Amino acid sequence: MSAQDKIEQTVKGNDVVLFMKGTKEIPQCGFSSRVAGVLNFMGVDYSDVNVLSDETIRQGIKDYSDWPTIPQLYVKGEFVGGCDIITEMMLSGELDQLFEQQGVSFNKDAADQIRAHNS
């Protein structure tokens, strides 16, 4: 199976996927840590893919999304964005809306706490 096939299978087979450096328990870069931290705090059930463990996936995900950086968040098979976009969406409430529209469970009170802490 090619890297592209593995990526497609992962993206389509999970409601929420974060391609990141490290794991959701032990992120290995600040940007990955920020996005994983938001998802973890919000109680989102998501799959994490450590791109550091497979160079073909690390490059393959950049090709798959036509996006040059990692982390990359996918919701219901669609690319949402990287760290800056997820941070902006979190603070504006757009991430809550996306999760609600897609039927992804999350803790709304936790999301509100993040926004209150960052305002």
Query: What are the domain boundaries of the chain?
Result: 3-117
Q: Residues of the chain with pLDDT > 70: what percent?
A: 100
> Across all residues in the chain, what is the average pLDDT?
96
Largest CA distance in the chain: 46
36 vs 30: CA distance, rounded Å: 10
Query: Is 29 among the annotated ligand-binding positions?
Result: yes
Q: May I ask the CATH architecture of the domain 3-117?
A: 3-Layer(aba) Sandwich (3.40)
In this prediction, residue 117 carries a pLDDT of: 92
Do 1 and 56 touch, CB atoms closer than 8 A? Answer: no
Which pair of structure tokens corresponds to residue 90? 């979190």
Query: In this model, does residue 1 exceed pLDDT 90?
Result: no
Q: Per-residue pLDDT tens for 3-17?
A: 999 999 999 999 999
Q: Per-residue pLDDT tens for 43-66?
A: 999 999 999 999 999 999 999 999
68 vs 105: CA distance, rounded Å: 29
79 vs 11: CA distance, rounded Å: 9
pTM of the model: 0.96
Query: In this model, does residue 119 exceed pLDDT 90?
Result: no
Which pair of structure tokens corresponds to residue 85? 């976009």
The pLDDT confidence band at residue 87, using thresholds 50, 70 and 90, is: very high
Query: In this model, does residue 118 exceed pLDDT 90?
Result: no
Range 91-111 average pLDDT: 97
